[in-house]
Amino acid sequence: MTNSSLTHRDLQVLWHPCTQMKDHETLPIIPIKKGQGVWLEDFDGKKYIDAISSWWVNLFGHCHPAINAALHQQLDQLEHVLLAGFSHQPVIELSEQLVAMTPAGLDKCFYADNGSSAIEIALKMSYHYWLNKGCKSKTKFISLTNSYHGETLAALAVGGVNLYRETYKPLLLETIQVESPDCYFRETGESWENYSLRQFKKMEIALEKHAHETCAVIIEPLVQCAGSMRMYHPIYLTKLREACDQYQVHLITDEIAVGFGRTGTLFACEQGNITPDFLCLSKGLTGGYLPLSVVMTSNNIYQAFYGDYAQQKAFLHSHSYTGNPLACTAALATLKLFQQSPVLENNKLLIAQMKKATAHFADHRHIGEVRQTGMILAIEMVKNKIDKTPFPWQERRGLKVYEYALSQGALLRPLGNVIYFMPPYVITPGEIDQLANIAWQGIHLATHSHP
């Protein structure tokens, strides 16, 4: 089997996610034969550094021996059982560990099998909590511009990236959108902290006006990943937690992308010293092995659903593969890797290396900003550096970097004009340098060529 024979068969029968399929008349699909650590290998024997952790899911590299071994063992024991009326060891152990390791006050775990479903659950639970408490007026959600919470309709409704949202607008819940604290547009010389604080005023105004009809505020703490890896200061989290308490509105934090060490701390919420009312986790939860997500919440919220059956307070929501034992086993093996070595401490070296390897990027004529939060580093290409005028999206400059990087053995799938690194934690400093060189050359090619 070769790349081209498989690609031919692929295009006969597949419709790929988030893709204009016509692009593949010229841009080849890459069938991957195997993975090892940060490396992916295709059917022609070409290797690529997985610089984006296969869409932010992979934490410790592909085909990790310890996760593989745990899965082999679980496979011979129990592959799946329903989670209503039944339970199993992996899901119980995982829940115990998640309750112990997340910020204090998150006491209960409700599972699903993907991030968008976790968001739907958090939104429904928040609304239902207020209803069970006798408050019928709370039916809306406050979300941020440029946010991303998934593709199902309610998740899309609380999202703010127009590229994904605009087409489906007539189908979406009405939401209250507040301007993001993302620091890209701060004044020259202004600190992240100051800008995020200034932007918080807009949230305060919205809460004051809409608290009576609002169930919850939903945010991605510190990094709006799908929204071009835009970043903001943790002070916003602290302020938002205070305001949500003051105005009696829930806080939902979506750590689906940023959880499990991506921002430098195990959870991004820790940097603002907060506990949300609902914490959504997925992606890295299973180390990038299997689909699983969880919504964690407090005993207080759980109690509002607890009562005699006839009171009709229960949360009657389910997914067929909720809490799948294999997925929970992959998650437990992943958490064990965090316990066995000082991962976050070791990552500090990689964080510094990413910064160092891209230090000269900021001087490039067509780079508007290089920004970093922990293990996420983003490079924003612009047409005009002075006023940050973007390249027209039609020119698809990011795609040019992507194609160049593939030719050089790196998977650097961009977000529009933004190139970013969000690698598995097993990447080496040398491989980071390699990535930086490839990105630099690719950006040079993409910005000096005419469309």
Ligand X SMILES: *Cc1c(COP(=O)(O)O)cnc(C)c1O
Interface residues with ligand X (CB under 6 A) are 114-116, 119, 148-150, 220, 225-226, 254, 256-257, 282
Shortest distance, CB of residue 54 to ligand X, whole angstroms? Answer: 12
Beta-strand pair 214-219/140-144: parallel
Nearer to ligand X, 114 or 417 (CB): 114
Can you state the angle between helices 429-448 and 343-357, rounded to 10 degrees? 40
In the complex with ligand X, the residue whose CB is nearer, 254 or 277, is: 254
- Closest contact distance (angstroms) between CB of 147 and ligand X is 8
Report whether 52 contacts 414 (CB < 8 A).
Answer: no
- Least distance from C-beta 99 to ligand X, angstroms? 22
* Chain position whose Cβ is nearest to ligand X: 115
- DSSP string of 411-451, one letter each residue: E---BTTEEEE---TT--HHHHHHHHHHHHHHHHHHHHS--
Shortest CB 360 distance to ligand X, Å: 30
Pick between residue 218 and residue 436 the one whose CB is nearest to ligand X.
218
240: tokens are 């938002």
176 touches 147 (CB < 8 A): no
Residue closer to ligand X by CB (options 17, 134) is: 17
| H or E stretch at 380 | strand 376-381
Helix, strand, coil shares of the chain, percent, nearest 5, are: 45, 15, 40
Q: Which of 77, 107, 86 has the alpha carbon at shortest distance from 95?
A: 107
**Which two structure tokens, joined as six digits, stand for 259?**
């959880």
Cβ 225 to ligand X shortest distance, Å: 5
Q: How far apart are CA 150 and CA 157, in angstroms?
A: 9
- Strand order, beta sheet including 278-281: 108-112, 293-297, 278-281, 250-254, 214-219, 140-144, 176-178
Q: How far is the CB of 294 from ligand X (least distance, A)?
A: 12
Q: Shortest Cβ distance from residue 226 to ligand X (Å)? A: 6
Phi then psi dihedrals of residue 49, to 5 deg: -75, 125
Tell me whether residue 56 or residue 338 sits nearer to ligand X (CB atom). Answer: 56
The crossing angle, in degrees rounded to 10, of helices 65-75 and 325-340 is 150
Shortest Å, Cβ 214 to ligand X: 20
Cβ at position 434, least distance to ligand X in Å: 26
The secondary structure of residue 389, as a DSSP letter, is B
Q: Could you tell me how many residues make up the chain?
A: 451
Q: Which is nearer to ligand X, 148 or 192 (CB)?
A: 148
The three-point CA angle 94-96-102 to 5° equals: 95
Q: Report helix angle 89-101 to 325-340, nearest 10.
A: 40
